[in-house]
Structure 1
Amino acid sequence: MPHSPAVEVRGLVKRYDGRAVVDGLDLTASAGQVTAVLGPNGAGKTTTVECCEGLRAPDGGTVRVLGLDPVADAAALRPAVGVMLQDGGLPTGVRAREMLDHVARMYSRPLDTDTLAERLGLDAFARTTVRRLSGGQRQRLALAVAVVGRPRVVFLDEPSAGMDPQSRLAVWELVRELRDGGAAVILTTHLMEEAEDVADHVVVVDHGTVLARGSVPELLAAGVEPGSTATLVVHTASDVDPTGLRERLGERFVVERRSGTSLTVTGAVVPATVATTAAWLAERDVLVTRLDLGRRTLEDVFLDLTGRSLR
């Protein structure tokens, strides 16, 4: 008989001032998997996760974590659930290491705090109060506090926000170990490359509903014709407007300005496509500094689903 999901959301509705920010949303997350909930700002993903954490009561639908109601059964769930809020949610007057040790004493079988502090680099600011920590340091401390009790379900809201590359590597290594140890990890992030790398299951949310769900390979393959999955990324030494390149390559290709000094060409990219693009740029005295040819990414999927305009 299959196991029940660690987290199960059915028809979730949450309103603010009469407006539904979450509107009939369904979500499941399984033990031993990382589930990434992705969406633009204001999509409803944080509210959804807060309902799962018991921080907000739903206005409709059901939420179950380990088979329990996260609001009504909060006391029973507390020892089994770890929560990392984006703003840390930590008392600002306490020292970092004191905070971690204090939380560890609340659990019967906590992780070794010396080992955890070393892995996340907490020793460098162990005696610093939370209010004096940088954003990335607060995030590392919040993560340590969330996982020190060996939770069966872990909610991580933007876990690597504000971190340097070394810290992000340590964070994602720890997340993978939690998953491999059997925990259900539910995270939100705006970093598509990291979500693509670490997530076993992805849920894309916008306007309070689910637009797509599945594994990363499933989402990358959805709605894409064979032979049309390659993306050429052209990095240039100066700003470039790709409007004319669209006309040169034809309707089979999507040409977009990724930033002032880079553009993408998506379609059945072949050597002739690269040559045509390079020639078009050379005609305009635009120096190409790098060419990257790769497959469709999770960021491409995300933008296709949620749009490319600013919110």
Structure 2
Amino acid sequence: MRADMRPRHLTSETAGWVGTSFKHEHLAAILADGVKHGFFEVHAENYMGAGGPPHRMLAAIREHYPLSIHGVCMSIGGGEPLNREHLARFRGLVARYEPALVSEHLAWSTHAGTFFNDLLPLPYTEDTLARVCRHIDEVQQAIARPILLENPSTYVAFRSATMSETEFIAAIVRRTGCRLLLDVNNVFVSATNHGHSASAYLDAFPLDHVDEIHLAGHAEQLDDEDERLLIDSHDGPVADPVWTLYENVIERIGPTATLIEWDSKLPAWPVLRAQALAARELMEPPRIPVTPDRFDDV
């Protein structure tokens, strides 16, 4: 990696930030009653047009808050070269809004010229690793800054895998210098679906490279064999087990920019805001009550 592309360690700058996905329905409420030291995240693909109401609303938010731009269609793990037009639009959006954080997914979504509206899993092999690193290098060179790579939620595993997901992610960080977006809900969803330990996953995760955390709600259903299956649905509040995992992560790495993802079945702004503030409360050190007895000890 070139010297001018070394990762910027944002943790001190963004520590303690809390935010939510930005939804146009909430604009007026946010401007009237926002979040102190807050930030908002948008999906890059929703703002790749030249102008219009979406950009006017996003510009209004950007006047008051930092942004996180979260890509969902780059197909970092795809078997084909990155789409040049898409990368150019992504680069233009980053230049236009100068976000504090820029991220993409460890997944693929295109094949043979067809786009699949999903974030699909990868086999964790040396060939896949080389391809993912090549694509990340290309994105980082285009936007002249490191990206944050998000761990996926997965529903299938590959027999061809030669390394674990955490080993794969750690290798990506070493080779590309990218930073990480730790989605704690994805950790819980994937661990539950595959019968693994979410805590063990976090023990193996390269936490010292995390600059942002995602929290979200998930849905529960039964698969074809009547086994429990979790879906990363982003349509409800953060579940208690995910809060517990999050608190454990914060105890290890300290306050870290944390975002609540809620993309469908949207609640009123105060509900979403309360979820963000709950994350902040878990990041704040416990307050020691001052009592007369304590004064006597001074």
TM-score normalised per structure 2: 0.38
Q: Decide which structure has greater strand share.
A: 1
Bigger CA radius of gyration: 1
TM-score normalised per structure 1: 0.37
